[in-house]
Amino acid sequence: MRKIFQNAASVSILTFVSRILGVLRDALIAMIFGASSSSDVFFIAFRPFDLLRKMFSDGILSISFVPIFSRYMERGRKDQAIAMFLSALVIFSAVGVFLIIFGIFLAPFLVKILAPGFVTGTYTNNLTIIMLKIMLPYILVILLLALCMGVFNSLGNFCIPAATPIVFNLVVIIFAFFVSSYCNPPILALALGVAFGGLVQLALQIPFLIHHRMIKFSCFSWFHPGVVRVVKIMIPCMVGAASYQINIMIASFFASYLSRGSVSFLYYADRLVQFPLALFAVSFSTVFLPSLSKKAVMGKQEEVSRVFTQGARLVFFVTIPAMAGLIVLGPPIVSFLFKQGAFDASAVQNTWNCLFYLILGLWACTGTRLFVTFHYSLSSVRLPFLAGLFSIGINIVLCWFLIEPLGSKGLALAVSLSSMAGFGILFMNMPGIVYRTQLVFCACRAVFLSVMMFYFVRWAAGFLLTERYGKIGLGAGIFVCILLGVSFFWGAGILTINPELKMIKQVLKKNNSQ
């Protein structure tokens, strides 16, 4: 468990840096383009690539790839593991090239599906088509990056896949800041930045693949049986693990019918929710999967259950107070990050409305990500797939009914409610080896401490948060409120002899003693 915690902490730190740059990137986009028709166009065109990136590069392809690859490595058949990787490399490259060519010809039809509210022949519709075509090469990059991530994670190297998104965000920021003035319209620079940033990110993987001696063409086979098994379960795995991302894209689909800026409000709100989701759920799931898969291969079911339960308790223990913090500090955070240039007070309020309703379902998104990883480590695909389908179906129905009375915030509420529905199915049908009672009590303890922290931080925010001193003063106030909230939560946990806090202290103590 100590090793898992160390790896998860490393991934979380690198993910934190990447997400900070991602927020800076989005803040720069908000400053330059605001919540306008141009920003709506970019977010609509970028949404399918962002969905694929989350479905593949956020470790979801690894869910189907890692257990099979790990079995070869654990049984001392490294040549077969290399052959599986090379076979997947060729197949994924061919699929990526086909999708690029296919997408160029069908771009107008794809835009009709992605944004039916953009009328054919209008400026927004035509610009979306152009931007979609520019970013199409990013599809190939996503597939190959996800494959490399699966290999590195199986080999216990979690830092490389977690670090390279930092480069991608830097490239997009450079293009937005320096290249946009040379493009007509300027928003095209973002599409160029996405395409070029992906290529740079992919190029950085090659030296590390060579270092791990994964480029060994004498082991190559065209259709390796391991790859065939991965392909068979890949789509069900994606539906199960990426139901939240799919639901967000569906919400954007409905938002294209609303007033200008609605797609952007949802996008910015989702970006802030992704922050704790990536730091806690995705980071731990990424590290959990190889470890749990190896233990499952060796038949250590009790150890699998123990490690998963401890990890899930820690994730819930930090996610629930993060939700409380986001609710009380959400409006000033949105204002601090995005209220500048073309992003006005009205856009801040609309983004916060969407963010609030997305936060309500954050615990369910986190739980779904963890429970899906547990099922896939045991090679169980059916239940996560059905839960994902149910969540997506519920989301479509709720979006249809909530869009008229509540607008974009109704779409955010639909996403949260559908996440809760999918999580409920997974939780109620978990294998008997999982200590569900421990998870429930852990969540209750975290809620109890988080409620107290919420009122304390809200009281402190009344004194500390003000825009009288500009951005710097507001940012400093938010930072102090976060520190006070963390300190209060930690102190309250010590006073109540919280077992999760004791678990964290034991891990840290062992790390320091090494």
DSSP character string of 159-185: HHHHHHHHHHHHHHHHIIIIIGGGSSS
CB atoms closer than 10 angstroms to residue 202: 20
Burial per residue of 424-448, b for 16 or more beta-carbon CB atoms within 10 angstroms, e otherwise: bbbbeebeeebbeeebeebbebbee
Flag whether pLDDT at 86 surpasses 70: yes
> Letter for the amino acid at 239?
V
Determine the pLDDT at residue 318.
85
**Residue 224 phi, psi (nearest 5):** -65, 140
The domain tally of the chain equals: 1
The better pLDDT of the pair 116, 137 is held by: 137
Q: Can you tell me the mean pLDDT for 429-433?
A: 69
Q: Could you give the residue ranges of the DSSP H alpha helices within 298-381?
A: 301-338, 345-359, 362-377
The better pLDDT of the pair 204, 505 is held by: 204
**What percentage of the chain reaches a pLDDT higher than 70?**
86
Flag whether pLDDT at 280 surpasses 70: no
Whole-Å CA distances, 339 to 76, 149, 365, 465, 483: 56, 36, 28, 15, 23
Q: Can you tell me the mean pLDDT for 281-306?
A: 68
Q: Can you tell me the mean pLDDT for 419-448?
A: 83
Burial per residue of 58-70, b for 16 or more beta-carbon CB atoms within 10 angstroms, e otherwise: bbbbbbbbbbbbb
Alpha-carbon dihedral of residues 197, 201, 206, 211, nearest 10 degrees? 150
Q: Which domain holds residue 437?
A: 2-513
pTM beyond cutoff 0.85? no
Determine the pLDDT at residue 514.
46
Determine the pLDDT at residue 512.
47
Average pLDDT along the chain: 82
As a whole number of angstroms, the distance between CA 24 and CA 30 comes to 10
Determine the pLDDT at residue 32.
78
Flag whether pLDDT at 21 surpasses 90: no
Flag whether pLDDT at 286 surpasses 70: no
The better pLDDT of the pair 192, 345 is held by: 192
Flag whether pLDDT at 357 surpasses 90: yes
Determine the pLDDT at residue 290.
63
Highest-scoring range by mean pLDDT, 82-86, 346-350, 412-416: 412-416
CB atoms closer than 10 angstroms to residue 511: 12
Determine the pLDDT at residue 289.
63
The better pLDDT of the pair 393, 314 is held by: 393
Determine the pLDDT at residue 88.
85
Flag whether pLDDT at 513 surpasses 50: no
Flag whether pLDDT at 388 surpasses 50: yes
CB atoms closer than 10 angstroms to residue 379: 15
Flag whether pLDDT at 383 surpasses 90: no
Determine the pLDDT at residue 33.
78
**Residue 464 phi, psi (nearest 5):** -95, -30
The better pLDDT of the pair 116, 266 is held by: 266
Determine the pLDDT at residue 400.
93
Determine the pLDDT at residue 353.
92
